[in-house]
Chains A and B, each alone.
Chain A
Amino acid sequence: MIQIFKKEFNSFLNSLIAYIVIGVFLTAIGLLMWVFPSSSILDYGYADLDSLFSFGPYVFIFLIPAITMKSFAEEKKLGTLELLFTQPLTDLEIILGKFLASFALVLLALLPTIIYYYSIYQLGNPIGNIDTSGAIGSFIGLTLVGAVFCIIGIFASSLTSNQIVAFILSAFLCFLVYNGLDSFASLPVFGQQTLFVKQWGILYHYESISRGLIDSRDLIYFLSALAFIFLLTKITIGSRQWQ
């Protein structure tokens, strides 16, 4: 697993992918937080990181599928997936290695945003007048959302050998799981079951953690989502060896 992780992570760093992903993420979030008047903190007047944590997942919806789209799709196209299966590795180890490499890149992109926290901490009046607990909770939430998006991307990549298809499918699934279910819940057809449907989506749990209240049920939700999509990916990858 470590070998797969190293190979994948090095391939990100040796190509432009890592630098583009980190650069685009920080530029997009930076523009939204500091430049665009509709969402700029300087115009808004409150020392908080709301714009980072509300726009962050939407930026992830486009960036994470771009990281993960090649993980299995490229291997299938080049025919190296069969070669990978001949190695003394289980399917789970292969998937886990690829997942950890993508997730490490997401963490690497998220790490510099601590500077934004420090900037707002200094800009607060008085200095340090910022909701630190909410920020910590939101950072944990954003990390978990990133992890779920990574495994969704890897699952989408395992379904096809075309990277563009994997990207579009992954972005759609990420949007559906993040925001789609929450929007579906407001349909009148669900009536009394609105909350139940909302709880299936990531947004409900992300907002809960972002308040600075870490609930074990939210953590179990994220872990379950990760485990469930891991299992689906394992079936998809394993099905190539069934014949």
Chain B
Amino acid sequence: MAVTQHWLGSKKTGDWLFLANGLVVIVLLNLLASSYFFRVDLTEEETGW
């Protein structure tokens, strides 16, 4: 547990690491979203049988 506390060092380091990780997640999410996407077409009318 003590190792974890020292590794983070300070709140400043922790905050910057959180920002960096967050940015990476956002970029990855957008890259994935550009490749795999879906559309919900609300304008489609239901066709009855």
> What is the interface of chain A, defined by CB distance below 8 A to chain B?
133-134, 136-137, 211-217, 220-221, 223-224, 227-228, 230-232, 234-235, 238-239, 241-242
Contacts and interface: CB of A to CB of B under 8 A. Distances in A.
B42 A133 contact: yes
Interface of B: 10-12, 15-16, 18-19, 22-23, 25-26, 29-30, 33-34, 37-43
Which secondary structure dominates where chain B touches chain A? helix
B40 A214 contact: yes
Nearest to A230: B22
A211 B44 CA distance: 12
A200 B10 CA distance: 34
Contact of A242 (B12, B22, B23, B37): B12
Contact of B29 (A220, A234, A239): A220
A21 B43 CA distance: 33
Contacts of B26: 224, 227-228
B11 A238 contact: yes
10 contacts: A134-B43, A211-B43, A212-B42, A216-B39, A220-B29, A220-B30, A224-B29, A230-B22, A234-B15, A238-B11
B11 to A, nearest CB: 6
Given A227-B22, A228-B23, A234-B19, A216 B37 contact: yes
